[in-house]
Amino acid sequence: MKIIWYHPSMDAQRWLTGLGRRLPDAEVRLWQPGDSGRADYAVVRSPPVEMLAQRSLKGVFAMGAGVDELLQQQRQHSDRLSAQVPLYRLEDTGMAQQMQEYANWCVLGWYRRFADYQRQQQAHCWQPLPLPARDAFTIGVLGAGVLGRSVLESLQQWGFPLRCWSRTPKSLPGVHAFHGAAALHDFLAGCQVVIDLLPATPETTDLINADFLRALPHGAYFLNLARGAHVVEADLLAALNSGQLAAAALDVFQQEPLPAENALWQHPHVTLTPHSAAITLPEQAMDAIASAIQQLETGQQPPGRVDRQRGY
């Protein structure tokens, strides 16, 4: 069995050694330009187009939960990777806990008004502030996949009303579920906080625009843990400037790294992080990928296979 590996920034030797230890019968090599040798599997993140060119692979494994880069490559270069080659993504491998931590920190900070207290501290103002009614501080999650469900489960302990919106019907204990485009505005109308955990697909591109933001209650909060392509940034800034949004926490952006001149850097009601809400944890990811390859080698179907039409 031959495995090719590529990541633009991760420690290649750690992965080559780790996968080799988990799959002792495999030859695992770092793909480099000009390598057109035989391979059974590819483990990748942001691969050059030529890496996967015209290869008959048993599977391609993305080193993350998102596969939008790979699908975009296939749309632009349909001859480079056959649609018959199975594509797999990581479903959790430690990312769910990281997303839970980020989401809970934001939700509790907004509910307890810590940013307001920070501004008061800078003004040397000693003034207790009233809290919103807990039963009116509804949290809505866009996306009910593995990560969306995990975040919703972690928020249940705080007693806030919870709701989710997804493409197809979902049933989650303790969560008011909405689905389909026709139900989106009804979902938004009751959300004091919206957390984006949708996959990146053509249908979700620019979904969070002026119309979307107007459907929220005045003074709502927005957290993006998914993809920057979902958001029309000019509309987001307008909503923040008008007070339609009280604040936003953003981990992902239309252009990354975020350009120095982008107004989001300096906005007083925006918190930024550099696409680090949930990073790939190598040991857990290698466990999952090695297990999936072993399943494929014995004729089984591992979790995480991507439906290329849906985009996730």
Instruction: Let me know if 308 is a catalytic residue.
Output: no
Residue 4 region, left (φ>0) first, then alpha (ψ -120 to 50), else beta?
A: beta
Structure tokens at 119: 């501004």
For residue 255, give the DSSP letter: S
**H/E stretch holding 100:** helix 95-112
> Which residue type occupies 83?
A
Q: Which residue is catalytic, options 14, 275, 305, 310? A: 275
What is the phi/psi pair of residue 57, to 5°? -105, 150
Q: What's the rounded Cα separation, in Å, for the pair 217 and 63?
A: 37
Instruction: Let me know if 163 is a catalytic residue.
Output: no
- Across the chain, the runs of DSSP E, i.e. the strands, are 2-6, 27-30, 41-44, 59-62, 87-88, 139-142, 162-166, 176-179, 193-196, 220-224, 245-250, 270-272
3-state secondary structure 33-84: CCCCCCCCEEEECCCCHHHHCCCCCCEEEECCCCCHHHHHHHHHCCCCCCCC
Tell me which residues are annotated as active site: 227, 275
